[in-house]
Amino acid sequence: MTSPEARTVAVWRKLVPFRVHVKGQGPAVVFFHGPWGVTWDAFLDALARRFTVYAPEHPGTTPGEPETIQHVQSLWDLVLCYDELLDQLGVSTASFVGHSFGAMVACEVAALRPSRVGKLALLDPIGFWRDDAPVVNWTLVAPAELPKWVFHDPDGAAAKKLFAILEDREEAALARTRLSWAMGCADKFVWPIPDKGLKRRIHRIEATPTLLMWGEHDRLVPLVYEQEFRRHLTRARVEIVKRAGHAPHLEQAAEAATVVAQFLAG
Amino acid sequence: MKICAFHLMPHRELPADFEQRYPSVWVTPPWSELADARRVGQYYNWTLDELLAAARAGFDGVCTNEHHQNAYGFMPSPNLMGSVLAKQTNDLDVAIVQMGMTLPTTTPPIRVAEEYGMLDCISGGRLVAGLPLGSPMDVNLAYGITPMEHRERYREAFELVLKAWQAPDIFAWNGKYFQLAQVNLWPRPIQTPHPPVWVPGSGSISTFDFAVERNVCYCFLSYAGGKAARTMMQGYWDVVAKHGLDANPYRAGFLQLVAVSETDAKAEAEYARHVEYFYHKCLHVPPHWLSPAGNQDYRSLLAANRNPVRRQENTKELRYRDFLEKGYVIAGSPATVRDRLMDEVVKALHVGNLMLLVQIGSMPHELTLKNIDLLAREVLPALRDVWEDEGWENHWWPERLRKPRRDPVGVA
């Protein structure tokens, strides 16, 4: 796996410097990461074999730039920041892939300018609310328990990588801080209930070909939410990934990448 | 020295296995399984009677505070309590200390300025205006405020309330969180330019700076006692000195749990189970709820992760004698309580505004009255003149009440 290029693109009157991981060749794919930040992983690397993958870091999650989040006050600000970013990257059309919180952001950015978006792949997305199946607030879960909530196998390699306990004290303190801060930066746009009006705007992307991918054992966002998304997205199909929780692209990277790449290429 | 009686209004009759059966005393305890509205009405009336007894017995002030969705202390509106207390103490030199109405959850926050204005008018200018940030359980979990916006929202609300009390003319407030085109406060408080402001905190360094920069009284609401608070309070006094301000002890308040009986042995017999109930049940909260992601700023979060303060003691493993020995609670005969309060709290922390938690956990009404009575008659007189001899003026106390009260009579 070769490292992606890290490109910094400042938007929002240069107050929001997005760091974007870029790799690959072919049609553009933009990846919107979830509430725990982004690291270049096997899933993104596999996509980069067929596509040019752009993986921006959500404001505030870039190492050394935690205060950037203060310049993005609302979901509307956030959507426009991404719109400016894609303009500056020269990405006039792209497919969007989003995970969890990032999938909600992907839908919102797509709904702003539907003509920009070819296809949409949503991995365990949030964005709706059902009283009979509440989305679990990851911030209120005990930190030590979080791997159990995010992964089907909390002792597996993917869980160990995302929630690594580092030996070096300074590195460990930084990692804990970044992980917690990344959740805070996502929570800013979804607290306390992740239904922030997507239901009123999602009709704008109703006809976008959409893949809904769900980990079979997602404990944070119950599988019933695929019904909510399908109700609004008439061309959506569902793909369930076995032996995966809330992050199928991390836990079953090869399978998830194959399914997503075939969908995007098809 | 000013000494107040503080009350949380807790559930006094939680089941013995509460902390095993339920995940938290805050946010999620099921009302239908744990409480009965008629019985809770009794708790509220006991609470009012206990605070009124303290006011008559000779305490300088009575304190109430705001918390939500919990069995630890459930006065969602401290001002409902404060208004009864204000009316019923109009013949006494007692301050109504609201510790108080939570700013970030009150929308629009001029409601705080209005209700405090009412309390100051009703009490004839005896209000102390506590302006708390509120706990994450109250503000983020129960009231849905985004953790990352909690402190910023507080700061804006604080400035708005202070301006609403003082601005001579109607003004517009075009804030980030609050927009009001015509702020014209009715009623205004009697005290000018505004009632004394106390900012309660739990030891966060950013709150020290905030309090010192605004020249208000910082109150450390700790349940771990004076011994554990020394480093923290020294940190506060260092910030005061750094700003070139005097070391007036009335710049600081401190909350201490106290229980008095005739002898040390009798205090243990009477109070031990109530103290254990408080620390085992009333503080039963998942620790990570105290600091949800985003609630602390990045620098503080990193600092906390780099140098975790000594591992928080698991109070569920401690018993009455541990709490006593470590100073969480000061209990015993009047002489024991007097001496320990003087040494471990008043002198060691350099504190002029002392708040005593006079009702602890399951402590029943009659025993609470006894505690209040012994405190007023046997303990307060020995502490009352501390700091007077050094000539400090309590600028953070209603002006008409600044002279020492001379009428400690005990509970009639």
B152 CA: distance to closest CA in chain A (Å): 10
Predicted confidence (pLDDT) at residue B357 exceeds the cutoff of 80? yes
Q: CA-to-CA distance for B321 and B340, rounded, in angstroms?
A: 15
| Amino acid in position A166 | L
DSSP A146-198: HHHHH-SSTTSHHHHHHT---SSHHHHHHHHHHHHHHHHHHHTTT-S-S-SSH
Q: What is the model's pLDDT at position A180?
A: 96
- The whole-number pLDDT of residue B412 equals 67
Backbone angles phi, psi at A90, to 5 degrees: 75, 20
**Under an 8 A CB cutoff, do B146 and A191 touch?**
yes
Are residues A188 and B146, on separate chains, in Cβ contact within 8 Å?
yes
Per the DSSP assignment, residues forming a β-bridge with B255 are B355
Q: If we measure between CA atoms, which residue out of B105, B150, B141, B103 comes closest to residue B27? A: B141
Per-residue confidence (pLDDT) for residue B39, from 0 to 100: 98
Looking from the CA of B310 toward its CB, the CA atoms found within 13 Å total 6
- Helix or strand run (H / E) with residue B368: helix B365-374
Select from B140, B293, B302 the Cβ nearest to the Cβ of A173: B302
- Euclidean distance between CA atoms B240 and B234, whole angstroms: 10
Q: B400 near B320, Cβ under 8 Å? A: no
Q: Which residues 6+ apart lie within 8 Å of B325 measured at CB? A: none
Placement of tokens 């009798």 in the chain: B266
Burial environment of residue B390 by CB neighbours within 10 A (0 to 12, 13 to 18, 19 or more): exposed
Give the global pTM. 0.95
Percent of chain B with pLDDT over 90: 90
Asked whether the predicted pLDDT for residue B411 surpasses 80, the reply is no
List of domains in chain B: 2-401 (3.20.20.30)
- Chain B contact set for A177 (CB, 8 A): 298, 301-302, 305
Domain-wise residue ranges, chain A: 5-265
Q: What is the per-residue pLDDT for B311?
A: 54
Query: By three-state DSSP, how is residue A89 classified?
Result: helix
- Please tell me if residue B292 touches chain A, with a CB cutoff of 8 Å: yes
Nearest CA distance, A56 vs chain B (angstrom): 21
CA gap B242, B176 in Å, rounded? 31
Q: What is the pLDDT of residue B408?
A: 60
Superfamily of domain A5-265: Alpha/Beta hydrolase fold, catalytic domain (3.40.50.1820)
Kindly state the average pLDDT of the residues B238-255: 97
Closest in B141, B298, B306 to A173, CB measured: B306
Which of A141, A166, A174, A181 has the most B C-beta neighbours within 10 Å, making it the best mutation to test the interface with B?
A181
Kindly indicate the confidence band of residue B406, based on its pLDDT and cuts at 50, 70 and 90: confident
Confidence (pLDDT) at B312: 66
Query: Is there a contact between A139 and B176 if contact means CB atoms under 8 Å apart?
Result: no
* pLDDT at residue B407, as a whole number: 61
Task: At B250, list the tokens.
Answer: 């009335």
Chain A environment of B288 (Cβ under 8 Å): 140, 142-143
Smallest Cβ distance to A142: which of B141, B176, B288?
A: B288
Mean pLDDT of B197-215: 90
Alpha-helical segments (H) within chain A: 42-47, 75-89, 101-112, 146-150, 157-162, 169-187, 198-201, 225-232, 248-251, 253-265
User: Does B289 contact A181 at a Cβ distance shorter than 8 Å?
Assistant: no
- Say which of A66, A73, A193 has its CB closest to residue B298: A66
Cα–Cα distance for residue pair B215/B209, rounded to 1 Å: 10
**Cα B404 vs. chain centroid, distance in angstroms?**
21
CA distance to partner chain B, nearest, from residue A131 (Å): 16
Cβ–Cβ contacts within 10 Å for residue A73, how many? 12
- CA angle B269/B271/B273 to nearest 5° reads 90
Least confident of A85-89, B67-71, B206-210, B242-246: B206-210
DSSP three-state, residue A246: coil
> Model confidence at B375, in pLDDT bands (50, 70, 90)?
very high
Contact A191 B176 (CB under 8 A): no
Q: Which of residues 150-189 of A touch B (CB under 8 A)?
A: 169-170, 172-174, 176-177, 180-181, 183-185, 187-188
Residue B307 has pLDDT above 80, yes or no: no
The type of residue at B142 is A
Tens-digit pLDDT profile for chain A (266 aa)? Answer: 789 999 999 999 999 999 999 999 999 999 999 999 998 999 999 999 999 999 999 999 999 999 999 999 999 999 999 999 999 999 999 999 999 999 999 999 999 999 999 999 999 999 999 999 999 999 999 999 999 999 999 999 999 999 988 889 999 999 999 999 999 999 999 999 999 999 999 999 999 999 999 999 999 999 999 999 999 999 999 999 999 999 999 999 999 999 999 999 98
Is residue B100 pLDDT above 60, yes or no? yes
Q: Say if residue B31's pLDDT is above 70.
A: yes
Could you give the angle at the alpha carbon of A262 between the alpha carbons of A260 and A263, nearest 5°? Answer: 65
- Give the list of residues 6+ apart from residue B172 with CB closer than 8 angstroms, or none: B180, B181, B182, B183
Residue B202 in this model has a pLDDT that exceeds 90 = no
Q: Work out the widest C-alpha separation in chain B, in whole angstroms.
A: 62
Rounded distance between C-alpha atoms, residue B412 and residue B372, angstroms? 11
Contact B141 A67 (CB under 8 A): no
Beta strands A236-241; A210-215: pairing state:
parallel
ipTM metric: 0.94
Distance CA A70, CA B312 (A): 31
Q: How confident is the model at residue B299 (pLDDT cuts 50, 70, 90)?
A: confident
Task: Report residue A237: phi and psi, to 5°.
Answer: -125, 155
- Which B positions 171-210 lie with beta carbon below 8 A of chain A? 176
| B241 contact A CB<8A | no
Contact: A191, B305; criterion CB under 8 Å: no
Fill in the DSSP letter of residue B329. Answer: E
Considering only A94-103, B220-229, B264-273, which range has the smallest mean pLDDT?
Answer: B220-229
Check residue B313 and give its pLDDT: 80
What span, in angstroms and rounded, lies between the C-alpha atoms of A102 and A186? 9
Asked if B294 lies within 8 A of A185 by C-beta distance, the reply is yes
